[in-house]
Amino acid sequence: MSEGFFISKLEWLIGWGRKYSLWPLPFGTACCAIEFMSSVSSHYDISRFGAEVVRFSPRQADLMIVAGTITYKQVPVLKRIYAQMPEPKWVIVMGNCACSGGIFDTYSTHQGVDMEIPVDVYVTGCPPRPEALIDAIVKVQEMAQRGEWHGSRKRQKAG
C-alpha cells in the first residue's frame, strides 16, 4: 500500500477523534446562555455528541459558543479569548443578538460577531431551541471530520 493511503487514513482518524471530542467554551452574556445550559443538561444531553466537557479556559477548548448580546466593550475580551484557543478551533454564534445584534440596534451593541472573529455556524432565533444548537454542533462535527474551520490560515489566505 502507498504512503498516501496511510496519510489519508491517519488524517481521517484524527478528524474522527476531533469530531467526537469537542470541548465547548461558552461565551455567554445574556438569555441565550440559559438555553445553552439547557442544551448541556440531561434532557438534551450533548454528551451524546462527545461535546459535554465544557471548559472556561480557552487553552482547553476548541469550540467557542457565543451566546447572547455582545457589546462593543466586550469585543477586545472576545477576541483575546478566541486568540488563546489552540487550533483547530470552531465558533458557533447562538441567537439573533450574537449573529447580528438582534433587536438591539443601539449605540452600545455590536451588530455581528463575525465582524470580529471567524464564525463557522450561525444559529438564529430568540432564543434558538437546544435542538438548533445540537444541529450546529453536528455541523461542526462534520467540519472537524473534514479538517475544516473558518479560522484556518489556509481559508484566511484564500480570502
Q: Three cell numbers at 89?
A: 478551533
Measured distance CA(104)–CA(62) in Å, rounded: 29
Question: Is residue 96 within the footprint of ligand SF4 (CB under 6 A)?
Answer: yes
Q: Which three cell numbers stand for residue 94?
A: 447562538
Residues that bind ligand SF4 (rule: CB under 6 A) add up to a total of 11
* Binding-site string for ligand SF4 from residue 49 to residue 78, where x marks contact by CB under 6 A and - marks none: -------------------xx---------
Does 97 engage in binding with ligand SF4 (CB under 6 A)? yes
CB of 97 to ligand SF4, least distance (A): 3
- Nearer to ligand SF4 (CB atom), residue 122 or residue 149: 122
Answer yes or no: are the C-beta atoms of 50 and 82 closer than 8 Å: no
β 121-123/63-67 pair status = unpaired
Cell numbers for 152, please give them. 484556518
Q: Which residues bind ligand SF4 (CB under 6 A)?
A: 30-32, 68-69, 95-97, 102, 126-127
